[in-house]
A and B are shown apart, each in its own frame.
Chain A
Amino acid sequence: MDAVAMYQFTQQSLPACKPVLTPAWVTTTFFLVGALFIPIGLVSLHASHSVVEIVDRYDSECVPDLFKSNKVVYIKDMSIHKNCSRHLKVHKHMKAPIFIYYQLDNYYQNHRRYVKSRSDQQLLHGLQHNDTSSCTPEESSNGLPIVPCGLIAWSLFNDTYSFSRGTHKLRVNRKNIAWKSDRNHKFGKQVYPFNFQNGTLIGGGKLDPNIPLSDQEDLIVWMRTAALPSFRKLYGRIEEDLNVDDVVVVNLLNNYNTYSFGGTKKLVLSTSSWLGGRNNFLGMAYTSVGFSSILVAFVFLLLHVRNPRPYGDTSCISWNRKSISS
């Protein structure tokens, strides 16, 4: 047997499957793709539609009229209270857990300078790890190292939200919003913030120096950088159902400066399905690819039937027209 296999191998005559694009195969494939994709698409669309999502952009509404023309001054002015309240109407029953996200647009968390400006080792080992050169320009202030160092931590998002329905305050669960591996392996349990936001220029939020980094889930979520300039981050979960026509009042502190670079801020409340959040694109793409594939199959069949050409006819091959000597 081995000799046979070896012989076939060296003579390049191994048993092989030689697929050929016969019309039957082609149409079957296209129909199959259609038959597979359209249901998947419909199921995905259904999953997407089952998700209820409330999106509220608040960055400009939460600026007092006085500052509407100069939002940057407003946001930078520490003396002004940044309180703001928003009313969100629930248009469809929302089943717990309801995820609370904040969304930033035109914010380049994927900028190379930004992405690199962190020290994984310091996050894990704290001050024991001295080499924080990767954290520039936020590696130290006043001659002391910063924990956590780097631009990402420094620009921590610091708007806060609280929710109430009528007079009843909605409980927001802010635990377990970060990835488990991040909490357990990337951020040290014994590492406490140190010398954080003590510089001349204050970036974003501050951290409680008495809580270890592994418990600072806002920071952990923030430090997991987003892929695209428009992104959402998990803020917490509301663990009770919201009913149709409920009005949720959001009290928020509009601290974070997105005005300088023309970004926007949104608050998002969303349920989830097995497929995640609400986005029709996947379903739409599946169905349209499915439909177009069936269309192609029909066109192909039509052309195939309309142009019956015996296969052996080689006259259409351009280079065959040249007379090749017999």
Chain B
Amino acid sequence: MRGGMGKGIHFSKLYTFSCFRSKFEDEHGQLGQRGYSRIVFCNDPDNPEAVQLKYRGNYVSTTKYTALNFIPKSLFEQFRRVANLYFLVVACVSFSPLAPYTAVSVLAPLLMVIGATMAKEGVEDWRRRKQDIEANNRKVEVYGKNHVFNETRWKNLRVGDLVKIYKDEYFPADLLLLSSSYEDGICYVETMNLDGETNLKLKHALDETASLRDVRSFQNFKSTIKCEDPNEHLYSFVGTLYYGGQHHPLSLQQILLRDSKLRNTDYIYGVVVFTGHDTKVMQNATDPPSKRSRIERRMDKIIYILFSTLILISLTGSMFFGVDTKNDIRGGELKRWYLRPDKTTVFFDPKRASLAAFFHFLTGLMLYGYLIPISLYVSIEVVKVLQSIFINQDRDMYYEETDKPARARTSDLNEELGQVDTILSDKTGTLTCNSMEFVKCSIAGVAYGRGMTEVERALAKRKRSRPHEVTDSSSDLPECNDHVVDSGKPVKGFNFRDERVTNGNWVNEPHSDLIQKFFRVLAICHTAIPDVRKESGEISYEAESPDEAAFVIAARELGFEFFERTQTSISLHELDHESGRKVNRSYTLLHVLEFSSARKRMSVIVKNAENQLLLLCKGADSVMFERLSKDGRLFLAKTMDHLNKYAEAGLRTLVVAYRELSEQEYKSWEEEFLPAKTSVSAARDALIDAACDKIERDLILLGVTAVEDKLQKGVPECIDKLSKAGIKIWVLTGDKMETAINIGHACSLLTKGMKQIVITLDSPDISDLEKQGDKEAIQKASRESIAKQIGEAKAQIIARKESSVTFGLIIDGMSLDFALTKSLESSFLEVAVNCASVICCRSSPKQKARVTKLVKVGTGKTTLAIGDGANDVGMLQEADIGVGISGVEGMQAVMSSDFAIAQFRFLERLLLVHGHWCYRRITMMICYFFYKNITFGFTLFWFEAHASFSGQPAYNDWYMSFYNVFFTSLPVIALGVFDQDVSARLCLKHPLLYQEGVQNILFTWHRILSWMLNGVISSMIIFFFITNSIVNQAFRRDGHLVDYEVLGVTMYTCVVWAVNCQMALSINYFTWIQHFFIWGSIAFWYTFLVIYGALPLKVSTTAYQVFVEACAPSPFYWLATLLVVVSTLLPYFAYRSFQTRFKPMYHDIIQRRRSEGSEAEVSAELPVRVKEKIDHLKERLKHRES
């Protein structure tokens, strides 16, 4: 109950006379001062004073760029990346004579890369702009000078305008509610867009303005509002309305926020208070914290390494160059006379050799710039976007019932999914469905309800010897849906089956009067709002929490139909237990004593038709039992027994009780309560609590409700798989410890053989202290107790480290508070990390975020948080990866998540399959990228060494600039998008494979550096094999010799072949796509060479006819290519062969087994599955067509 109710309760309180807490109440005094200086002239925006204030208009723009600043701003964003900046500098310098190649050939790829990214930004921004335009041009009715309401556009609204909003329209700005179609000036608001909560909230106009319901009455309406300045606090508002010579304090109850929607109310009148960017929702619009993956952070380091290498080899080059240049003139004599060192620019001047060397250093930086892969960032970005598309497309993560596919909201974290070490999960709505079902109750000591919960089934299953799993899960399915079979017409939120009570049979039960009272409490004591559908007469409820809805629905199903609520009354259709007919009964609502997490109960005080005063109360057992009167404890023992059973069965329980009040008693209490409620001091909450406490006494016990929050389908199997993959799972829940433990068992988080460590403050001595009320003593004792318990746990773990016993840690919220203090933090973490699973019960949203941070920072490993509600947002944002469940609890969690899935069980596939693949792909891709650029870059360097380091590139300019763009990029992208080491099925079958990512063994420095070394070796083989085999002698029968042009083409051919074949060797998955890209790239090189060589000499320069005339007819050229390519690949191939056979990695083993057929794969099993799916797909297509 608590978790569910707590969620919805943030700011809306149903009634103005309810305990609305505004901590800013005290701040009314500050009006007019700094931060509280806003003045609004209602219905008088043309007032000269108002004009002078120059408040902003209602035009909003959420775009990142404008037409004017798009180019400079997006360019600036682009060049914040070091690599891009480097290439920009290179491009600029390439216009100077320093450049070893033409400027265009550097600029072209840079422009392409930058252009692609900018285009992406532009398109995204254009979409935002279209949304803005749509919003700014929506119509709204404004009260004009001609004293009627005229339509105008949203963007033309001004502060002080009087507007009329109709049902189901959005509020164009933050408004002050003046009056509504209801007489008492209430209206209902849906705040889905603000906080993601789907329930309706009630707003209430000041009584003084509620009468302004006629258009004519606005003719003379003039008033002033003084209020706070624009701020981002959604849940507070401070202001005063000066109207009719008096001032009235305003609170959030009167404020309608932009982007929320008017519901259930025909129209309202309001005054614009905040416009445009001043509105609270716009003030809240901040970018979520940006997350970067570990791989990318390491990649930056590698880039730095490459930069250092670049500088180092440029330095080496420039030193040699300096020496060579200096020697060109010795003793006034020209040495290399053919270079005319006597008549030269500074760049080659022997007299200024050191300066020349410096300039040459710059040239070197440009020339060896090919070590830095220019297209790496852009390729990774493209790959990640494509990966996300595949994640979104995955049919196995598509939830048909709600039509929700998985959604990667950011593509930056794909590979991080493959490295998750700890999952921190919410329980309600994440592990469970969060569709509460009323399943059982105990009334007057008699237990009703025959359904069996999933937890009970799990308990039963644990007792039985485990049968074969497959049969188990198949038999589960019909069981899950058994209530459908039974009752014929399933009612959402109601799964109560007991013929003694249903269909009005309860009148025949022994305590039928108590049963009647019990359900009456359920039907009256709540804050739900009925929604009667006109056509069918069916009633649905808007409740703050699913629990509450379940109660009201249960009451309805059993004959206490709540159908109307006004400010002061609640009306029911009741089944009269004497006549057996339905009668209308109305209850006058006097007070609602709100639920709060401290009070753990809520009550209503009503007067029934017989003028009896009743206090109806429901709440947690811990507070309720002690409030029972002596006569009210009649069934206490039996009820408690039932309650414990329910808790064990994983049900959420609430105790229901009531008492009758005498008129006098009520009056005297009210005298005390009203001042408390209206008081404006800091102690207000305490006063109210104390007052409530006084009346909520001497209750008479009616019974206990039990609501089931069903486990989602496949959760136990999923958790089982994840823990087999070595992922630690922490559950952070608001539930009671018993419930949490039972859920833990049900979803196989806690297993039979597991040793449970419980850390709690629920010990007798602490509660003794609590009774004494000495806060400091409690603090001290608690801390000591926790420290002791943690110490013991540590000792236990150390003692059994060698044995195979695993531990499960359970800690409650109070203890967690102490465990998270500085002094205990590290030891707590140490204990927790050594436990296979951890359950934190009764934890608050803030604690959840703190625990997440502790794990993230403490272990330094990747954490994943998964949750569904607004209370999980902190946790989701804090964790390395936030996964939102797009379930029933609104969209808040999804909005702040990085990935959204519809069901918890999809997490298995998201992590084990997509995570693993993406991790593998990205790491492979980065390693390969460095390899291919080093291979290429170092051939340039070796050539330099043979060209007296003069800075002459070995290849034609365009070969070089197309290297990263055309000849090698597409296969890498194919690798990054499509490669699979093992199939999805095997990923799931061998969850241990996931550890490759967790331990990051595919991206260790050793592996990265090995790839780089491989690149250097390849470049050496390419250069030295070619030069040695070709040196001096003719390479054709007709006696022609190899010159600069032919050498360049030959070497380049070898490079293209080598890196592409290396790719073919390194990938494990060849579809036509890979074949197409890899062999296509090589073919494209030859095509390019032919076409480029056929262009006029002016364009093709050194490539002119070189392939067709010189290379292609020479057998030597082809033989040399074959030799070099095979030789560059052999070292890697040999290494992989030996490693696969003698020191295999896990994926090698799986691949090997698959190929040996011991996995009984592809041939038999898969096609059947695929075929089924295809048939299914076809059917759906047919449906769509027809």
Q: Say yes or no: B1035 contacts A111, CB within 8 Å.
A: no
Q: Does A198 contact B (CB under 8 A)?
A: no
Q: CB-nearest residue of chain B relative to A275? A: B1116
Q: Say yes or no: A224 contacts B947, CB within 8 Å.
A: no
Give the docked Cα–Cα distance between A290 and B347 (Å).
Answer: 47
Interface segment out of the listed A84-92, A164-172, A177-185, A189-197: A177-185
Q: Say yes or no: A22 contacts B1155, CB within 8 Å.
A: yes
Q: Say yes or no: B1033 contacts A319, CB within 8 Å.
A: no
Q: Say yes or no: A113 contacts B1104, CB within 8 Å.
A: no
Give the docked Cα–Cα distance between A23 and B1134 (Å).
Answer: 11
Q: Say yes or no: A319 contacts B1001, CB within 8 Å.
A: yes
Among A12, A201, A262, A293, residue most surrounded by chain B Cβ atoms (within 10 Å): A12
Q: Does A16 contact B (CB under 8 A)?
A: yes
Give the docked Cα–Cα distance between A129 and B1142 (Å).
Answer: 68
Q: Does A66 contact B (CB under 8 A)?
A: no
Q: Say yes or no: A325 contacts B806, CB within 8 Å.
A: yes
Q: CB-nearest residue of chain A relative to B392? A: A10
A residues in contact with B335, CB < 8 Å: 260-262
Q: Say yes or no: B1069 contacts A279, CB within 8 Å.
A: no
Q: Say yes or no: A18 contacts B1104, CB within 8 Å.
A: no
Shortest distance from the beta carbon of A284 to any chain B beta carbon, whole Å:
9
A residues in contact with B726, CB < 8 Å: 324-325
Give the docked Cα–Cα distance between A300 and B1140 (Å).
Answer: 12
Q: Does A115 contact B (CB under 8 A)?
A: yes
Q: Does A128 contact B (CB under 8 A)?
A: no
Shortest distance from the beta carbon of A199 to any chain B beta carbon, whole Å:
10
* A 286-318 to B, binary, CB cutoff 8 A, 1 in contact else 0: 100100010010001001100100011010110
Q: Say yes or no: B1042 contacts A227, CB within 8 Å.
A: yes
Overall SS of chain B's interface? helix
Shortest distance from the beta carbon of A311 to any chain B beta carbon, whole Å:
6
Known: A110-B952, A112-B947, A112-B952. A237 touches B1039 (CB 8 A): yes
Q: Say yes or no: B1151 contacts A231, CB within 8 Å.
A: no
Shortest distance from the beta carbon of A271 to any chain B beta carbon, whole Å:
9
Give the docked Cα–Cα distance between A262 and B724 (Å).
Answer: 72
Give the docked Cα–Cα distance between A228 and B1046 (Å).
Answer: 12
Known: A282-B1120, A325-B836. A225 touches B1043 (CB 8 A): yes
A residues in contact with B179, CB < 8 Å: none
Q: For chains A and B in complex, what number of residue pairs have CB atoms within 8 angstroms?
A: 289
Partner of B1039, one of A97, A103, A186, A317: A97
Which residues of A in the span 1-28 have a Cβ within 8 Å of any Cβ on B?
A: 3-4, 7-8, 10-23, 26
A residues in contact with B906, CB < 8 Å: none
A residues in contact with B724, CB < 8 Å: 324-326
Partner of B1127, one of A3, A15, A277, A285: A285
Q: Does A120 contact B (CB under 8 A)?
A: yes
Q: Does B70 contact A (CB under 8 A)?
A: no
Give the docked Cα–Cα distance between A131 and B317 (Å).
Answer: 32
B residues in contact with A39, CB < 8 Å: none
Shortest distance from the beta carbon of B939 to any chain A beta carbon, whole Å:
12
Partner of A229, one of B394, B395, B948, B1126: B948
Q: Does B1154 contact A (CB under 8 A)?
A: yes
Q: Say yes or no: A113 contacts B348, CB within 8 Å.
A: yes
Known: A22-B1152, A226-B1044, A237-B1039. A108 touches B1032 (CB 8 A): no
Give the docked Cα–Cα distance between A225 and B951 (Å).
Answer: 16
Which residues of A in the span 98-113 have a Cβ within 8 Å of any Cβ on B?
A: 99, 101, 103, 107-113
Partner of A272, one of B334, B950, B1037, B1044: B1037
Q: Say yes or no: A276 contacts B1035, CB within 8 Å.
A: yes
B residues in contact with A231, CB < 8 Å: 1032, 1041, 1043
Q: Does B788 contact A (CB under 8 A)?
A: no
B residues in contact with A180, CB < 8 Å: 1109
Q: CB-nearest residue of chain A relative to B995? A: A319
Q: Does B68 contact A (CB under 8 A)?
A: no
Q: Does B1025 contact A (CB under 8 A)?
A: yes
Shortest distance from the beta carbon of A206 to any chain B beta carbon, whole Å:
15
B residues in contact with A30, CB < 8 Å: 1134, 1137
Q: Say yes or no: B947 contacts A282, CB within 8 Å.
A: no
A residues in contact with B1044, CB < 8 Å: 109-110, 115, 224-227
Q: Does B481 contact A (CB under 8 A)?
A: no
Partner of A179, one of B1040, B1166, B1178: B1040
Q: Say yes or no: B1039 contacts A272, CB within 8 Å.
A: yes
Q: Say yes or no: B984 contacts A20, CB within 8 Å.
A: no
B residues in contact with A212, CB < 8 Å: none
Q: CB-nearest residue of chain A relative to B980? A: A12
Give the docked Cα–Cα distance between A273 and B1114 (Å).
Answer: 11
Q: Say yes or no: B1070 contacts A3, CB within 8 Å.
A: no
Give the docked Cα–Cα distance between A51 and B1116 (Å).
Answer: 15
Q: Say yes or no: B999 contacts A286, CB within 8 Å.
A: no
Q: CB-nearest residue of chain A relative to B837? A: A325
B residues in contact with A113, CB < 8 Å: 339, 344, 347-348, 950
Q: CB-nearest residue of chain A relative to B1036? A: A276
Q: Say yes or no: A18 contacts B348, CB within 8 Å.
A: no
Q: Say yes or no: A274 contacts B1037, CB within 8 Å.
A: yes
Interface segment out of the listed B54-62, B512-520, B555-563, B1169-1177: B1169-1177
A residues in contact with B983, CB < 8 Å: 13
Q: Does B623 contact A (CB under 8 A)?
A: no
Q: Does B946 contact A (CB under 8 A)?
A: yes
Q: CB-nearest residue of chain B relative to A293? A: B1130
Give the docked Cα–Cα distance between A26 and B1170 (Å).
Answer: 32
Among B1031, B1047, B1137, B1138, residue most surrounded by chain A Cβ atoms (within 10 Å): B1137
Q: Does A247 contact B (CB under 8 A)?
A: no
Q: Say yes or no: B1140 contacts A324, CB within 8 Å.
A: no
Give the docked Cα–Cα distance between A203 and B338 (Å).
Answer: 7
Q: Say yes or no: A111 contacts B337, CB within 8 Å.
A: no
Q: Say yes or no: B1032 contacts A281, CB within 8 Å.
A: no
Shortest distance from the beta carbon of B317 to any chain A beta carbon, whole Å:
12
B residues in contact with A262, CB < 8 Å: 335
Which residues of B in the span 320-352 have a Cβ within 8 Å of any Cβ on A?
A: 333-340, 342-345, 347-348
Give the docked Cα–Cα distance between A275 and B1029 (Å).
Answer: 11
Among B337, B992, B1041, B1073, residue most surrounded by chain A Cβ atoms (within 10 Å): B1041
B residues in contact with A281, CB < 8 Å: 1028-1029, 1031
Q: Say yes or no: B1071 contacts A276, CB within 8 Å.
A: no
Which residues of A in the span 104-151 have a Cβ within 8 Å of any Cβ on B?
A: 107-115, 120-121, 124, 136-138, 151
Q: Does B85 contact A (CB under 8 A)?
A: no
B residues in contact with A23, CB < 8 Å: 1141
Give the docked Cα–Cα distance between A289 and B1134 (Å).
Answer: 13
A residues in contact with B1071, CB < 8 Å: 14-17
Q: Say yes or no: A224 contacts B1045, CB within 8 Å.
A: yes
Give the docked Cα–Cα distance between A230 and B394 (Å).
Answer: 60
Give the docked Cα–Cα distance between A82 and B243 (Å).
Answer: 118
Known: A33-B1126, A277-B1035, A285-B1127. A181 touches B1043 (CB 8 A): no
Q: Does B1101 contact A (CB under 8 A)?
A: yes
Partner of A233, one of B951, B978, B1041: B1041
Q: Say yes or no: A270 contacts B1070, CB within 8 Å.
A: no
Q: Given known contacts A111-B947, A261-B335, A282-B1123, what 15 new A-B pairs fall within 8 Å (CB)?
A: A16-B1069, A19-B1070, A21-B1140, A26-B1140, A26-B1141, A97-B1039, A112-B100, A112-B952, A113-B347, A137-B343, A155-B338, A260-B336, A276-B1034, A289-B1126, A311-B1153
A-B contact pairs, 16 of them (CB 8 A): A10-B390, A12-B390, A18-B1068, A18-B1069, A21-B1137, A108-B948, A109-B1044, A112-B947, A136-B345, A203-B337, A225-B1043, A227-B1048, A234-B1041, A261-B336, A272-B1039, A286-B1119
Those 8 A-B pairs whose CB atoms lie nearest each other, nearest first:
A277-B1033, A227-B1047, A155-B338, A277-B1034, A99-B1039, A325-B836, A112-B950, A112-B952
Residues of A within 8 A of B (CB): 3-4, 7-8, 10-23, 26, 29-30, 33, 37, 40, 44, 51, 53, 72, 97, 99, 101, 103, 107-115, 120-121, 124, 136-138, 151, 154-155, 179-181, 185-186, 201, 203-204, 224-234, 237, 257, 260-262, 270, 272-279, 281-282, 285-286, 289, 293, 296, 300, 303-304, 307, 311-312, 314, 316-317, 319-320, 323-326
